[in-house]
Amino acid sequence: MRAASISRRTAETDVHVSIDLDGTGKATIATGVGFLDHMLELFARHGLFDLEVKVDGDLHVDQHHTTEDAGIALGQAVAKALGDKRGIGRYADLHLPMDEALTRIAIDISGRPFLVFRTAFRVEKIGQFDTELVREWFQAFAMNAGITLHVETLYGDNAHHIAESCFKGLARALRKAVSIDPREDGRVPSTKGSL
């Protein structure tokens, strides 16, 4: 079963994440940050991951630690659930439209963490949420999942739509990249023999 749990406690946050990569999109999310909950719920739905995320964070400071640490723990959980990565598709890319916004996502489950993030927001806030935290979450996720991740918003106006196109795009690309390719016949998809 490709599922894993991560518990991570620091002076700033207490995070618990469980993920089943072969789920149905069922999400139980409670980070204390409404917009982040919304993004993680649609990440689960569009990835067809069963996902639980619970964060007790220092929201009296701001939403930074909660957002970043949720990304760290979710990345770690994905890496753990993938295990030795046998049989996976490994690569995926797509364009994800959300009304006027369009984001391109390319992913390589490489074991080499790297993020290219070319997405800009015209406003600093989406409700209570700082738009700069979208990048922080993607950075934390990519580094801890051990994936190469390129995110580029080609155009878009509304910050909520832009953020949603990034999270939905990641979910859809990850869903494809982690899918078992029967032609791989359980092999690790690398000439090196490991990822």
Give contact residues for Mn ion (rule: CB under 5 A): 164
User: How many Cα atoms sit within 13 Å of 187 on the Cβ side?
Assistant: 8
Which residue in the shown chain puts its C-beta closest to Mn ion? 164
Minimal distance, residue 93 CB to Mn ion, in Å: 23
Of 69 and 164, which CB lies nearer to Mn ion in the complex structure? 164
Cα–Cα distances (Å) from 52 to 69, 110, 128, 134, in that order, read 14, 25, 23, 19
Q: Which residue matches tokens 């993607």?
A: 138
Minimal distance, residue 46 CB to Mn ion, in Å: 12
Minimal distance, residue 38 CB to Mn ion, in Å: 6
Q: Which residue matches tokens 């023999």?
A: 193
Minimal distance, residue 140 CB to Mn ion, in Å: 21
Measured CA angle at 190 (ends 186, 193), to 5 deg: 75
95 and 101 in contact (C-beta within 8 Å)? no
Closest CA to 159 of 113, 101, 108: 101
Of 15 and 159, which CB lies nearer to Mn ion in the complex structure? 159
Of 68 and 164, which CB lies nearer to Mn ion in the complex structure? 164
Of 4 and 163, which CB lies nearer to Mn ion in the complex structure? 163
Of 90 and 168, which CB lies nearer to Mn ion in the complex structure? 168
88 and 156 in contact (C-beta within 8 Å)? no
What would you measure as the largest C-alpha separation in the chain, in angstroms? 51
Minimal distance, residue 160 CB to Mn ion, in Å: 6
165 and 153 in contact (C-beta within 8 Å)? yes
